[in-house]
A and B are shown apart, each in its own frame.
Chain A
Amino acid sequence: MDTEKTAQPSRRMFAKAAATAATGWILTACGPKRLYEVPKERLRTQVKALERKYRARYGKNVTVSDTGPIPGVEFAYALDISRCIGCRRCVYACVAENNQSRDPQIQWIRVMQMDKDKGVDFSHSTPYYNPAEVPEEGHFYVPVGCQHCENPPCTKVCPTGATWTEKDGIVVIDYDWCIGCRYCMAACPYGARHFNWAEPTIPSGELNPATHYLGNRPRMKGVVEKCTFCIQRARAGRYPACVEVCPVGARKFGNLLDKDSEIRYIIEHKRVLVLKEELNTVPRFFYFYAT
């Protein structure tokens, strides 16, 4: 063995150098890392590249925001079950705002029609009601989307860390890092996560050009998506599209850390419930009865 060592030092050194170079190349050249670890400057170039790509594809001035969470803000949502009439305007406003695929159809909000004599019971509910007029006698409605849990089962199970909770409480997905294993969909108790079973299609005319990197930018085939509390609006100080469109004012949204906010008032003064409380997911989405 000793003779070997002295006889071929150059070969050994070459092997070492090659191995180091190969590792270095793999580490640096394997494309973008998951967003969680991307340095700010690199994120900005990534975002600019995306904007160019979307502009070319949709022939529209698409912007991709990378606005981060605002310090001192933690978003929460409240929905008044006694007011909701089941009109599904929120569903379609959400589709338009968040660039969900039209074909195949993806909808982040499901409005469940419940029986009044059964109460909030999903095993006796349906999202497929279709009467001439809502609300129907004997029924009430519970719209369900992502509950932005404080203890989210979906982010825990993701094998690549492609989904996480932002500092402002929004649970997000990095569409460029998701491998589409759908473990998060099995883990979510609220059916909030949706998969792109085929290449999503959105007519250019219907594309909402004001997008956010972690929110409503156009997605691709084979990845998971879901409600982000309209991150592109919320972080710019606006209400989510579903809150704005609701004709009966059943939807409330605000900063949980602001003592004077409407959301704090509701939680402190109304009869509030969360879905599937026993699972300890601790949703930031509350349901309440105002009347």
Chain B
Amino acid sequence: MQPENPVNSLRLFGGFARGSLKLISRGNRAYVLWLGFLAVLIASGVLAYLNQLRIGLGVTAMRDQVSWGFYIGNFTFLVGVAAAAVVLVIPAYIYNWKPIREIVIYGELLAISAILMCLLFVMVDIGRPDRFWHLIPLVGYLNFPRSVLAWDVLVLNLYFVVNFLVATHILYREFHGRHYIKSLVVPLVLLSVPMAVGIHTVTAFLYNGLAARPYWNSSILAPQFLASAFCSGPAILLVVMQLLRRFTRFEIQDQAIRKIAELMAYAMFLNLFLHGAEAFKEFYSNTQHLLYTRYWYWGLGSHHTLVPFAWTAVALNLLAFCLFIVPKARHNWILLNIGCLATYAGVYIEKGMGLIIPGLTPDTLGEIYEYYPTITELRVAAGIFAFGFLVFTLMLKVAVPISLGEFRRKEGAPSLAEAELVSTGD
């Protein structure tokens, strides 16, 4: 076999692409319904966004007082999800712990989808998406290293490339029945570990560095971001793992799932502890900076739109912690899944709305503008999530049969490489 020959490589890839297309275009009823559901959400999101493009960001609830809202909240949350793939990568590659190793690739696919959603959330938030190229170095001008946003642009894109390379390389090699190239994958995976920490730290610094906003200007922000990310990312993966186990021949050991749940309990403890430390500092010192924390948990005067969300998040996080820390509870599948949902929802509230809105309310001149997302914002956000899930679903549809050895290059026809399905997945 001469894969170095470009013509041959191209042919091999053509076979892979055709096979993949065949795979994703076939599926049972649940699969078709799921794709249809996502398509409807995406269409609704696109329509809402087109309207926003035409009229302006005034169709959102954002105003000069609260100049970032739901979009940037979702962005922040999803950077955490993307970073969390690292939780699985560390034990898998550094300690060579087999049960987790098989599912690392799915963590990476999740990271890819999450980063795509992050980039889309930024795109829909900026006032002039037509000028996006201004950010590209050389063509435009990237204010690096002064602007933390410039750092974020760089690390997010790099993280995307690294994960994309590793995941596609491993899968593509497996498709050809060959082991991945160790000298390529291992350094990239080792690089992706500090990078995952990096993307979330840089995103935290984005807010952290603004002295104008005391709610964000606290050094606990970056560690707290990481702690909550290590809860929410695995929460999604655990649910995906169980779905895969049920609907495909893919085998995931119970101990892998339970180990991840245990890791989540520690991360959640750290998250709650850091929240507690911040709350103590704010309430005990009782300075004017307490206003923002008070707005989130108790409201200010007659303004308490967000208070129910704040306490729901606290309750959900506590519940998740209790369910994951008790071995008996996390060994019960129903309780485990309740824990996952609670984690996901709890972190989603606290990292999205709970981070952005109180950071901007009251505004720098003391005005309280109560932000609550409009239908447009909800529709656009739902569309972006649907797109992310669509990408994730399609990638799984190809990746799972490859891992199972069901989707392989046809033997004896190396140059034509017509893909063959050993047996259908469903």
Contact = CB atoms under 8 A, between A and B. Distances in A.
B142 A159 contact: yes
A69 interface: no
B153 interface: yes
A279 to B, nearest CB: 5
Interface string A85-128: 00000000000000000001000001010000000011111110
Interface in B65-97: 65, 67-68
Among B58, B365, B366, find the residue whose CB has the most chain A CB atoms closer than 10 A.
B365
Contacts of B68: 182, 186
Interface string A60-85: 00000000000000000000000000
B149 A30 contact: no
Most buried by B among A27, A156, A191, A194: A191
Contacts of A222: 56-57, 126-128
Interface stretch (B103-111, B130-138, B173-181): B130-138
A62 B134 CA distance: 28
A196 B127 contact: yes
Contacts of B133: 30
B365 A279 contact: no
B364 interface: yes
B147 A279 contact: no
B139 A279 contact: no
Residue with the highest number of chain B CB atoms closer than 10 Å, among A110, A124, A144, A197: A197
A183 B128 contact: no
Interface string B1-24: 000100000000000000000000
B360 A186 contact: yes
A54 interface: no
Interface in B42-71: 55-58, 62-65, 67-68
Band of interface residues on A: 35 or more
Contact of A191 (B64, B150, B210): B64
A127 B365 contact: yes
Given A197-B57, A197-B63, A279 B212 contact: yes
B291 A123 contact: yes
B58 A160 contact: no
A139 to B, nearest CB: 15
A116 to B, nearest CB: 16
A160 B364 contact: no
B248 interface: no
Contact of B57 (A153, A190, A195): A195
A119 B131 CA distance: 44
B397 interface: no
B143 A194 contact: no
A26 B138 CA distance: 10
**Chain A, interface SS category:** loop
Interface in A1-25: 1
Interface string B341-367: 000000000000000000110111111
A126 B126 CA distance: 29
A190 B126 contact: no
B213 interface: yes
B212 A186 contact: yes
Contact of B141 (A34, A112, A183): A34
Given A30-B133, A177-B134, A157 B147 contact: yes
Among B63, B138, B143, which residue has the most Cβ atoms of chain A within 10 A? B143
A27 B67 contact: no
B134 A186 contact: no
A223 interface: yes
A110 B65 CA distance: 12
B140 interface: yes
B141 to A, nearest CB: 5
B125 interface: yes
Contact of A160 (B125, B140, B207, B363): B140
A198 interface: yes
A173 interface: no
B365 A179 contact: no
B28 interface: no
B244 interface: no
A128 B30 CA distance: 56
A188 B210 CA distance: 8
Contacts of B131: 177-180
Nearest to B363: A191
Given A123-B291, A144-B365, A161 B128 contact: no
Contact of A27 (B4, B138, B149, B206): B138
A33 interface: yes
Nearest to A279: B211
Contact of A179 (B135, B211, B291, B360): B135
Contact of A190 (B63, B143, B364): B364
Given A180-B128, A181-B125, A189-B364, A158 B64 contact: no
Interface of A: 1, 26-27, 30, 33-34, 37, 104, 110, 112, 121-127, 144, 153, 156-162, 177-183, 185-191, 193-199, 221-224, 279-280
26 contacts: A112-B365, A122-B365, A124-B366, A126-B366, A126-B367, A127-B365, A153-B212, A156-B147, A159-B135, A160-B134, A177-B131, A178-B131, A180-B57, A180-B128, A183-B206, A186-B68, A186-B207, A187-B210, A188-B364, A189-B364, A190-B364, A191-B64, A194-B64, A222-B57, A222-B128, A224-B127
Given A181-B149, A183-B149, 10 more contacts: A110-B365, A157-B149, A159-B153, A161-B143, A181-B122, A183-B147, A188-B364, A189-B212, A189-B364, A197-B62
> What are the 8 A-B residue pairs with the smallest beta carbon separation, nearest first?
A180-B127, A222-B127, A197-B58, A189-B212, A122-B366, A198-B56, A159-B149, A198-B58
